[in-house]
Structure 1
Amino acid sequence: MKNLKILTHFTLLVSLLISCSIKAQNSTINIKKTDIMDTKNQEIVNVALMYIKDGEESRFEKYKKKGGAILEKYGGKIERIIKPTMLAEGEMEMPDEIHFASYPSIEAFNQFNEDPEFIKIRNEYAIPALKDISIFTSKNTNFEFKKEVGDTSKTYGVALIYFNEGEKYIKQFEDYHDEVCAIMPEFGTHFERFIAPFQSKGNIERPDEIHRFYFDSMEGLQQMGTDERMQALFPKRDASLKNLYFFIGEASL
């Protein structure tokens, strides 16, 4: 019963955690693949949900090490690796790892993926080690927020967000946006990334936005879920989302 109660708190909190991105949604909800031209000279963040074959963990670790070294040649880096421990919302097979890799530009992103040495490493290590992968190539939203950087001691949340179509849903978020964002810092919630995918590969539908955040403590997260002010906001958001996948996990990087 205790675990069920915690899971319920996670589920209730998800939409509130993501609602602080509303000021960015006007420009990102309907992003299409053709918007790739708008990413010139902008930072690119690649998000990959990795499903590793049993017994191939060692091979995959070699891929991360060798591929990461080549990535740095192009000014990129693997900025965060989350290992999910719970799928708190949605229904899908939980990935073994979620990777966030950043690139200084779409040009650097393309050059890296076309690098002959990287292609060789990918074919030798990644492809044999993975049973499945979904990739979302993303750009930053225009939402202004205080970006904070956690570490491997923190608990992380990753949300794949799918909005219902229609301006009324954006307005619905706006109605309580300021209230939510004023409350959450009291409970130690910190935001690292608000990004909008513009192209994808794999079986998982491309989300409208992906958010990454971390918590100072699980106790703070649970307390936020029972806060009366937060509880009063839950009904306002329920009809706004078409779908949502929310992972809780630990960072290995």
Structure 2
Amino acid sequence: MKYLNTITSIALGILSFVSYISKAQNSNINTKHLEKVETKSQEIVNVALIYIKDGEEARFEEYKKKGGAILEKYDGKIERIIKPTMLVKGDLELPNEIHFARYPSIEVFNKFNEDPEFIKIRNEYAIPALKDISIFTSRNTDFKFKKETGDKRKTYGVAFIYFNEGEQFAKQFAEYHDDVCEIMPEFGTHFERFIAPFQSKGTIEQPDEIHRFYFDSIEGLQQMGTDERMKALFPKRDASLKNLYFFIGEASL
């Protein structure tokens, strides 16, 4: 229990890297909303929380193989697959996998999903294999950070972040943001993605931001959670959040 509490504190601490982005007003997938967030010709990242039916794992693996081959024809890429081992914050059924797929633009994303060959593969392999899925199409945030790339040997964290409404919370984050950016690299925390969903589909509420990061070691992760400088920032951070789902897991890709 002590270890879990430490991980939870660390998970929340990591959120201090965020920049505030106002919550999208419409979570339905439609062209009008896409134009509002100005995603044309910009790279997007599709994030999927995937729940696989018992006994259908092999069928879903075949879907990933066949669907991934078509995705590459569109200059897209499945850049990371995380298999969560625990949900350390939030109340949500643990998904089997969290997928991050990158596309050159929303136009390419739409063309890929309308590809007849892909639709056939999806209907034959994915739909029968899945118990549930929630999908979040996202753009890169304006936050400036040193992007690093991990590998399958690392422990990963994925945070689905929901902010309280109001500009005062943006100011609250800004007050300690710079200090935290100075602290966390000391403990071997590396960031791969800061993205903001602009459309979603599924039962899980659309978050304001999704973060993906990895750790050099569990020991460093634990030490960061007990650092006095980090702990001093937690109260301001806690008051800014409405909800948080924080997963820890291993990468299969």
**Is TM > 0.5 for Structure 1 vs Structure 2?**
yes
Given that 1:48 and 1:99 are in contact with CA atoms closer than 8 Å, whether structure 2 keeps it comes out as yes
Listed one character per residue, the Cα deviations across residues 123-145 of structure 1 (whole Å, up to 9, x for unaligned) are 00000000000000000111111
Given that 2:10 and 2:222 are in contact with CA atoms closer than 8 Å, whether structure 1 keeps it comes out as no
Given that 1:29 and 1:209 are in contact with CA atoms closer than 8 Å, whether structure 2 keeps it comes out as no
Give, in angstroms, the shift of residue 247 of structure 1.
0.1
Listed one character per residue, the Cα deviations across residues 78-97 of structure 1 (whole Å, up to 9, x for unaligned) are 00000000000000100000
The one-letter code of the counterpart of 1:29 is S
Q: TM-score, normalised by structure 2?
A: 0.95
User: For residue 143 of structure 2, what is the aligned residue in structure 1?
Assistant: 143
Q: Give the Cα separation in 2 of the matches to 1:94 and 1:110.
A: 28
Q: Give the Cα separation in 2 of the matches to 1:17 and 1:234.
A: 10
Q: Give the Cα separation in 2 of the matches to 1:49 and 1:43.
A: 20
State the identity %. 76
Q: Does 1:30 align with 2:28?
A: no
User: For residue 228 of structure 2, what is the aligned residue in structure 1?
Assistant: 228
User: For residue 54 of structure 1, what is the aligned residue in structure 2?
Assistant: 54
Q: TM-score, normalised by structure 1?
A: 0.95
Correspondences of 1:1-253 after superposition (within 5 Å): 4-22=1-19, 25=20, 28-33=21-26, 34-37=32-35, 38-253=38-253
- Secondary structure of the 1:238 match is helix
User: For residue 29 of structure 2, what is the aligned residue in structure 1?
Assistant: none
Moved more, 239-248 or 10-19: 10-19
Moved more, 67-76 or 174-183: 174-183
Q: Give the Cα separation in 1 of the matches to 2:93 and 2:206.
A: 16
- Secondary structure of the 1:191 match is strand
Question: Which blocks of at least 5 consecutive residues in structure 2 are unaligned?
Answer: 27-31
- Secondary structure of the 1:45 match is strand
- Superposed CA RMSD in Å reads 0.9
- Secondary structure of the 1:39 match is coil
- Secondary structure of the 1:239 match is helix
Q: Give the Cα separation in 1 of the matches to 2:142 and 2:91.
A: 29
Q: Give the Cα separation in 1 of the matches to 2:102 and 2:15.
A: 21
Q: Give the Cα separation in 1 of the matches to 2:59 and 2:33.
A: 35
